[in-house]
Structure 1
Amino acid sequence: MAEQTALADIRSDDDGKTDAAVVRDALGVGVAVGLSGFAFGVTSAGSGLTLLQTCALSLLVFTGASQFALVGALAAGGNPLTAAAGAFFLGVRNAFYGLRLSQLLALPRAVRPFAAQWVIDETTAVALAQPTRRATRIGFAVTGLSLYILWNLTTLLGQLGAQAIGDTAAWGLDAAGPAVFLALLAPMLKTTTERAVAGLAVLLGLGLLPVLPAGVPVLAAALAAPAVLCLEGRRRGTSRGHARVDDASDAEGSAAGGSDAEGEEAR
């Protein structure tokens, strides 16, 4: 660990990234994503949650995907326990982020429980992009603070705005949450495997929607990832098997050619 820290410090001198640059990048992410809280506030109001319940979700849960999954399932008439289960499984990924960030940030034990509240997709991405431990801490803290404040503020404003205009479904605002998800997800699908997982998840979710209770299709759609990865692993294994067979055939051909040449020389 000491060697890794020393290497990070050396890399920081070469990189030359200033604290101001880290703060600027972190604020950019915090502000851009924090504005999505408007969509959550509106969606939450459409699902029937009160202002207090909506604000409590943003203050205590503070992970956009899980919040949207919860209120989306409730809006569709799903069982609260099923909706909570879907939100929980989406939030589990943050625990894995925390395992990596705990090594990079190396925060005092007294601070870690508070920092854990900010372990989300955006803070992890900004932290991992930094070259040094100091820059990592600054990026994590600035992204977390700006996003937490703005997300909760826009959640409040979105809920109040939805209450002011009345029926959100009549305005089509119930689609705001899914639209935000698609906008955030689309640029991340860069490989064929990722696109296959997304496509299969959509098919599972839409196909099971008429036959399963609300909220359950979302959980079933999560099976798309292991299914695609399993098929991808088998395909690669088959490709390697064919490659080994071809190599063996080439080797046998070379050996046979060598034997024929030796026979000609003997004659």
Structure 2
Amino acid sequence: MRSMWRTLDRESRRGIAAIIAASFVSGLSFGAIAVASGMALWVPLVMSALVFAGGSQFLAVGLVAAGGNPVAAVAAGLVLNARHLPFGLAVGHLLGDRLAARLLGSHLMVDESVAFALAQRDPDRARAAFWACGAGLFAGWNLGGLLGALAGQLIADPGALGLDAVFPALLLALVIPAMTGPDKWRPALVGAVIALATTPLLPAGVPVLLALLGLVAVPRRRPATPDEVPA
């Protein structure tokens, strides 16, 4: 790991270090929220080690804590992490040929490790960025989750510290940069309306899944053909 770190340039090392620090803070919030919402201490720790997907973990804890069906939480998490399928195609060549390395690399494949890897032009630096970022995030997230879970046992109301706002803020930070045009805003707004309208009527977690109907409720514009483009 130390040799991989030295392979990276100073800007990449600085960026990865900042992401690891942010992961530690997010882990603190997740662990505190999970335990303060009634989960046993071991649940967020095992979840962080085996799932290692912050958005899905926050979503699952939020839905279960609100009385939602665990099946709905799992389904929502699978939908949220569907983006990892194209991620694997993009960085699969960086994981090597050994089965153990590919399995471990698949577990460490998150948005940040993929982004830092794809930002490198040199293959050796791309491989170093992927493993250094993935391993650092895993360590920071799990350490933060442990300390947060221990602290969560002493917090009666996580909302009093604003910890309940971490998950929605995290999702907004992930989604807003991609909302670059009306064709992307319309499905999101329709999905939000569906979720808000069905929340009082359906069990927790189900409105989140129904919000996916926004993807098909708003037809996307067909690109103009050369003959249709005005001269």
Which category describes the TM-score, using the shorter chain as reference length?
0.7 to 0.9
Q: Provide the identity percentage.
A: 38
Q: Which amino acid aligns with 1:136?
A: A
How many residues align structurally?
223
Q: What do residues 156-211 of structure 1 show as CA deviations (whole Å, max 9, x unaligned)? A: 12222221122334555333322332244334433333333332232222121111
1:160 and 2:150 aligned: yes
Aligned to 2:222: 236
Question: Does the CA contact (< 8 Å) of 1:126 and 1:139 recur in 2?
Answer: yes
Question: Does the CA contact (< 8 Å) of 1:83 and 1:215 recur in 2?
Answer: yes
Aligned to 1:108: 97
Alpha-carbon distance in 1 for matches of 2:208, 2:39: 20
1:41 and 2:26 aligned: no
Structure 2 CA distance for partners of 1:171 and 1:106, relative to 1, 3 Å: closer
1:137 deviation in Å? 0.6
Aligned to 2:74: 84
Question: Does the CA contact (< 8 Å) of 1:43 and 1:176 recur in 2?
Answer: no
Q: Which amino acid aligns with 2:141?
A: W
Structure 2 CA distance for partners of 1:189 and 1:95, relative to 1, 3 Å: same
Alpha-carbon distance in 2 for matches of 1:123, 1:226: 31
| TM-score when normalising by structure 2 | 0.85
CA RMSD in angstroms, aligned pairs only: 2.4
Aligned to 2:8: 19
Alpha-carbon distance in 1 for matches of 2:61, 2:114: 24
| TM-score when normalising by structure 1 | 0.74
Alpha-carbon distance in 2 for matches of 1:133, 1:156: 35
Aligned to 2:41: 51
| Runs of at least 5 residues in structure 1 that lack an aligned partner in the other structure | 1-17, 248-267
Alpha-carbon distance in 2 for matches of 1:192, 1:30: 33
Q: Which amino acid aligns with 1:109?
A: R
Alpha-carbon distance in 2 for matches of 1:26, 1:212: 41
Aligned to 2:118: 128
Aligned to 2:179: 189
Structure 2 CA distance for partners of 1:220 and 1:241, relative to 1, 3 Å: farther
Question: Does the CA contact (< 8 Å) of 1:27 and 1:142 recur in 2?
Answer: no
| Runs of at least 5 residues in structure 2 that lack an aligned partner in the other structure | 1-6
Alpha-carbon distance in 2 for matches of 1:145, 1:187: 25
Which of 55-64 and 157-166 deviates more? 157-166
1:209 and 2:208 aligned: no
